[in-house]
Amino acid sequence: MTKVQNPITGRSKGQAGGMVFTTLFGANIIKAKPYSYRDANTLVQRANRNLHVSLVRAAASMKTISRYLFLQQPASMSAYSKTVQQLQALYNRSTGSPVFDPDTKEIGSGNVELELSVASYVPGTGVFEVTIVNSSDLNLPDGATSSHDLLIFDSTTNEIERVTGVLTHATGVFTATSLKQAPVDDSCWWINYSNSKSGADLVKNVKRATILQD
């Protein structure tokens, strides 16, 4: 059954013949309904489906903060959906089965790049230590230190851990501790920097993925 508010300008939902009526971000959408579908169910397809399910769960674990990861909200999708898309981009599918390849990928978006001179991670303790070269240009909040989020993606479990780290303003050293202690070879991380000021002083950085170890 199809329910139509107005056949010209109104909103419709349901099905009619081979068409499906729905809405997406306020826009009226008409989709063609496939008459049949034959699933090949190959090993590559199964690997991609399993990965997609895991990444959706990872994005869901950050759903309450996903809007805050973007300086400007995505125009064509929700912040949660954009996060799922960005997590999908961590994997290279051009050669068949997905391969973890997070170099230069982003989570969220912003307007300040962080130049890192030293980045270290100790698996035994889970301690991250990063030296930020241009920390003096970040319009840091008042005080000797400030707290910022660190997002750690573990590709062995497809989970994201969110921990709070401390940036020491005088040295530009950011330190945080992972409770899960993800494997070094299969992880990447982002610093989610934003200061406590508002208006013209608000600064949020591009979350640039950094591989812990090649």
Task: Give pLDDT tens digits for 60-112.
Answer: 988 888 887 877 788 888 889 999 999 998 898 887 788 888 877 888 876 66
In a domain, 91, yes or no: yes
What percentage of the chain carries pLDDT values higher than 70?
A: 75
Q: Hey, is 200 helix, strand or coil?
A: helix
Q: Is residue 7 part of a domain?
A: no
- Cα–Cα distances in angstroms (integers) from residue 114 to residues 59, 157, 174, 195, 203, in the given order: 24, 27, 12, 14, 12
Look at residue 8 in the predicted model and tell me its pLDDT: 54
Asked, for residue 12, whether it belongs to a domain, the answer is no
pLDDT digits 0-9 by tens, 117-155: 777 888 778 898 888 887 776 777 778 998 888 888 888
- Among 112, 204, 192, 118, CA closest to 148: 192
Element spanning 28, H or E: strand 27-32
Which token pair is 95?
Answer: 């050669």
In the numeric block, which tokens belong to residue 8? 């010209």
Q: Is 13 among the domain residues? A: no
Specify if 114 maps to a domain: yes
Establish if 4 belongs to a structural domain: no
Alpha helices in 15-165 (DSSP H): 43-60, 79-88
Of 102, 163, 169, 179, whose CA–CA distance to 142 is shortest? 169
Q: What pLDDT, in 10s, does the model give residues 201-212?
A: 444 444 443 444
State residue 37's pLDDT score: 67
Q: In this structure, is residue 6 part of a structural domain?
A: no
Tell me the Cα Rg of the chain. Answer: 21
Please tell me the predicted confidence (pLDDT) of residue 212. 46
Give all strands of the β-sheet with 2-4 in edge-to-edge order.
2-4, 12-16, 19-24, 27-32
**Cut 0.85: pTM above it:** no
What's the rounded Cα separation, in Å, for the pair 172 and 167? 6
- For residues 190 and 9, which has the higher predicted lDDT (pLDDT)? 190
Q: Does residue 64 sit within a domain?
A: yes
pLDDT at 31: 79
19-36 pLDDT, tens per residue?
A: 788 877 767 777 777 766
What b/e sequence results for 110-144 when a residue is b if at least 16 CB atoms lie within 10 Å of its CB, and e otherwise? beeebebeebebeeeebebebbbeebeebebbeee
Residue 109 sits in which domain range? 43-211
Paired tokens of 156: 């062995």
| Statement: residue 11 has pLDDT above 70 | no
In the chain, the number of structural domains is 1
